[in-house]
Amino acid sequence: MGDTTQITGEVPGGPEADAAGLMDLLLGAAKLQVLHAVAALHVADHLADGARTAEEVAEREGSQPRATYRLMRTAASLGVLSYAGDHAFGLTGRGQLLRAGVPGSLRDLALAFTGSGHWQSWSQFPDAVREGTSQLKRVTGADIFGYYARPENAEEARIFAGSMAEVSALTIQGAMAALDIARVSTVVDVGGADGQFVLELMAANPGLRGQVLDLPHAIDGARAEAAKRGLSIRFSAVAGDFFTEVPAADLYLVKTVLHDWDDGQSVTILRNCRSAAPAGGRAVVVEAVVGDVGTPGDFAALSDMVMLSVTGGIERDLAEFDELFTASGWRRGKTYHVGGGYFAMELDAV
């Protein structure tokens, strides 16, 4: 099985190469679902201590052996698994990131991207382009955050929160390494979910007091995370609406929040931070930044399609960010890459 020695010839250039390239793009959904299955069936976890055959993985997981082999064979073609022969597979560096609970894991992100809420949004994507906004509310009766707040979607919401923590892990250390907080005593993590960003800052700076502002269903996770880290005495989590009011602080962390919202909503969030900020107050915005048009594989441009489909938000280039900042009373200063395709933009009050 898998012998290709009798296949001769190469794929020619020109129209046939274009067709092969387009076919590869058309199989993008299949590639995502392969990652979904590898994550959901704990394939990477079953291989954590060394190579195993597909049959051994199937026995551990309770999956059908031949289908499991076919899945693992395809995952090897995507560079997620390595093939050791005789139906045995091991993990590559990418595969390690689909393990649960390991540093740098992106397992929850794979599960979130293939969750029912996301998938229902993508089914209506042409209409999202026609109308300029997500169609999720049309098919489920709620926007993505209302969808996650429903009790019946609690597990999907938990996975989504975990995926956001994974994205945070990609960016936080890079942001902390460059962020000057010498004159900062209070920090608010705006829409901060479980508070990974502010809690990391607090752990590194014992005099710092921190707070998360988020929706009611999200803040219990922040309190639990603060307790786990032994930081509860300097930390609070507040249920609130950043479109209405933001607590006062020396520094606002606005990480992967603005891309969920349109320009008017984003200006409101930033303006509320500006209005609550004391003299000398600052903010740091962490987002993907769209590159020059036509940049191959532009992470932010692809992410922009996720925003259009799922949240109705938008990924922006630097000029578009500057328009938001100017309209809300901020001025962009130092801007730097923080990892995983994301950038930090430090803002000073005007």
Catalytic positions are: 259
CA dist 124 → 17, 93, 142 (Å): 30, 34, 14
Q: Which two tokens stand for residue 287?
A: 């987002």
Sheet architecture: strand order including 282-288 = 235-239, 209-214, 186-190, 251-255, 282-288, 342-349, 330-339
Q: What torsion, rounded to 10 degrees, do the Cα atoms 88, 102, 117, 72 define?
A: -10
In angstroms, the CA 153 to CA 21 distance is 37
For residue 157, the number of C-alpha atoms closer than 13 Å in the C-beta half-sphere is 21
CA dist 53 → 59, 91, 206 (Å): 10, 12, 49
Closest of 195, 192, 185 to residue 278, by C-alpha: 185
On whether the CB atoms of residues 258 and 266 are closer than 8 A, the answer is yes
Closest of 78, 54, 52, 82 to residue 66, by C-alpha: 54
The three-state secondary structure class of 270 is helix
